[in-house]
Amino acid sequence: LAICRGRVVRVPKGPLIRVVGTEVEIPCSVSDYDGPSEQNFDWEFSQEADFIRIVSTWDSTFTSEEYQNRVGYGDIKLRRSSNDAVELVIRNIQPTDQGRYKCSTPSTDATVQGNYDAEVQVKVISDGLSVSGSKARSSMSLRVSEGDSFKLRCSAITTSPEHTHLHVTWQIKSGSTWHDILSLTHEGKFQPVPGYEERYLNGDIRLDTGANDTYWLSVSQALSVDEGAYRCLVSEWVRGADSSWQKIQEKSVEIASVAIQRTVVVISTSNVSVTERDSLDLTCNITTDRSGIFQAEVMWYFSASPDDTLSDAQVLLSMDHDSIVSDSTLISLSHVDRNSYRLLVRDVDVGDSGYYFCQAAVWVPLHNGSWHKVVERTSAPVNVMVIALERDYEVFLNASKTPKFSDDPTELNCRITNAQDTEANIRFTVSWYYRQRLRSDDVVAVELLATMDADWTLQLGDRSRERTQNGEIIFSKKAVDTFSFRIQWTSESDRGDYFCVISAWSRHRNNSWVKSKDVTSASVSIFWATQGRNL
């Protein structure tokens, strides 16, 4: 058995069914040839017996008189897809274009072998596809609240004499480009595009068929990305002689322009300053165009940073859609009007400084009596600065005992006067300091003798630590407003200037103490003359 191979020219298996008025593309390719890689093609047409020359890739005089105008105007042309393939393109095909088309390739082979042309039958049918939207001539406009539902209707019907199938696609326009949403294919399959798959599986995006050849796009839980123009794109498909599906035409109609009314949650004030012990008053406003029945669920958060996520923030108070408020002693949440919710924080302290924001969810009733959350939004944070109260008090330091000689005792009393606020939420502590006296103008560093924490724990400085532990130096609190410092046996190295600092502390609601003010006393000089030497 000997197998001889040669040039092979191929066109699609016919008949090719095409719709009048559409653009038709008939491919032709060649393989297994000799000669140059780029091959030339001639196309001819016949309705009955003789073929009429249409167009050629290599001979400009090839076209018959009957086709010169259409070829000259570009209504018929050749489009090369590769060196060995072209497409015959017929724009606005007519019933008179129905017939046999022959694709030929001039020989470049060393020996004539194989086939040098191939024919395909083209059948032109009437346009029976009708696509429409609403009864109005122009597309309609819809305004939909975020989280609500809307439906769009498209009607598509064909009266084609052939057994054709329709492929229906709903699209949305973003900028100047149309993007697919969901299709019902010519094979009867629902096909969401990436980005809509999850919403399709959840039932929030559906394509429903109805009576009178209608195709509904149903959108539940509308999002801001659903805003835009919508159109219905319908293509008509037929099975070819090789059993493959072929698209024979496509039509579209704009159905509606949908505007999504966003639900906005804002706090009525921007940055806020409030004085300690006053009340912080913030209002969360929900902006929505809803006219029907709805309830809001509101939750207030506090965070030390504006960049914290909700999971990192502290929940202050919440009100569910049944208007049930979580309990709190110093914080209250009230429903001011239909869309406003007031947060009141009483008796604020410095620890309440930070960022406040509210989260609101809108709930609507369903037919079965239950409630459904349609949208949730979080406000931008508001920066709240709590200004500490200025504690009004004075500090005086005096020496109740002064040494005249070495080894005499020294006792200093640091006293608070004119303190206006001595309630349980205010606490005073003392710090003691020493500075050596020099004859020159040299600067001498101040040395810490001892300081008190907010809980009155004494922290000793390096200069006094060992002598205090030995009982030579005593720090004490004689009265509510008086702190004492005593040196049992004063030495020459103790001569110098002493002063005290009284710190006021405020207690926060979490029982922590925060320093609100420091007041420094005038210095007291401890000095006595020594024989033969003066400072």
pLDDT digits (tens, 9 = 90+) for 325-357: 766 777 888 888 878 888 999 888 888 899 999
pLDDT of residue 97: 96
Residue 101 banded pLDDT, cuts 50, 70, 90: very high
Give the type of residue at 213. Answer: D
pLDDT of residue 438: 72
Q: Are strands 513-520 and 496-507 parallel, antiparallel or unpaired?
A: antiparallel
DSSP, residue by residue, 28-63: EEEES--S-SSPP-EEEEESSSS-EEEEESS-TT-S
Per-residue exposure over 423-462, b if at least 16 CB sit within 10 Å of its own CB, e if not: eeebbbbbbbbbbeeeeeeeeeeeebbbbbeeeeeeebbe
Q: Can you list the pairs that 310-314 forms with residues at least 24 positions away whose Cβ atoms lie under 8 Å?
A: 310/359, 310/378, 313/357
pLDDT of residue 137: 57
Task: Provide mean pLDDT across the span 289-305.
Answer: 84
Q: Are strands 177-184 and 165-174 parallel, antiparallel or unpaired?
A: antiparallel
- The domains of the chain, with CATH numbers, are 7-125 (2.60.40.10), 129-261 (2.60.40.10), 265-387 (2.60.40.10), 394-526 (2.60.40.10)
pLDDT of residue 155: 95
- Residue 165 near residue 240 (C-beta atoms within 8 A): no
pLDDT of residue 235: 96
pLDDT of residue 392: 78
Sign, Cα dihedral of 460, 462, 467, 470:
positive
Q: How far apart are CA 306 and CA 166, in angstroms?
A: 54
Report which of residues 338 and 535 the model is more confident about.
Answer: 338
pTM for this prediction: 0.63
pLDDT digits (tens, 9 = 90+) for 153-168: 999 999 999 999 999 9
Q: How far apart are CA 520 and CA 215, in angstroms?
A: 83
Instruction: Estimate to the nearest angstrom the gap between the alpha carbon of 161 and the chain centroid.
Output: 51
pLDDT of residue 245: 93
* Nearest 10 degrees: Cα torsion 524, 526, 532, 535: -40
Burial of 280 (0-12, 13-18, 19+ CB in 10 A): middle
The 10 Å Cβ neighbour count of residue 213 is 16
Q: Cis bond leading into 365, ω under 30°?
A: no
Residue 1 has pLDDT above 50, yes or no: no
The three-class DSSP label of residue 199 is: helix
Residue 5 banded pLDDT, cuts 50, 70, 90: low
Residue 267 banded pLDDT, cuts 50, 70, 90: confident
* Nearest 10 degrees: Cα torsion 265, 270, 271, 276: -80
Residue 287 has pLDDT above 90, yes or no: no
The 10 Å Cβ neighbour count of residue 304 is 12
Q: How far apart are CA 176 and CA 172, in angstroms?
A: 10
- Residue 485 near residue 498 (C-beta atoms within 8 A): yes
pLDDT digits (tens, 9 = 90+) for 414-441: 999 877 655 567 889 999 999 987 766 6
pLDDT of residue 3: 45
pLDDT of residue 147: 82
CA angle 277, 278, 279 (to 5 degrees): 125
Residue 535 banded pLDDT, cuts 50, 70, 90: very low
In the sheet that 264-267 helps form, which strands lie side by side, from edge to edge? Answer: 264-267, 280-287, 340-345, 331-337
pLDDT digits (tens, 9 = 90+) for 453-487: 988 889 999 999 999 999 999 999 988 889 999 99
- Contacts of residue 482, defined as CB under 8 A and 6 or more positions apart, other chains included, come to 413, 414, 415, 416
pLDDT of residue 264: 81
In the sheet that 245-261 helps form, which strands lie side by side, from edge to edge? Answer: 140-145, 245-261, 228-239, 165-174, 177-184, 190-192
Q: Which two tokens stand for residue 315?
A: 């929940």
Least confident of 10-19, 219-228, 400-409, 522-531: 522-531
Residue 228 banded pLDDT, cuts 50, 70, 90: very high
pLDDT of residue 119: 95
Residue 109 has pLDDT above 90, yes or no: no
pLDDT digits (tens, 9 = 90+) for 61-100: 999 999 999 999 999 999 999 999 999 999 999 999 999 9
Mean pLDDT of the chain: 88
pLDDT of residue 146: 83
Residue 25 has pLDDT above 70, yes or no: yes
Q: Which helix (H) or strand (E) holds 465?
A: helix 465-469
Q: Are strands 371-378 and 354-365 parallel, antiparallel or unpaired?
A: antiparallel
pLDDT of residue 111: 79
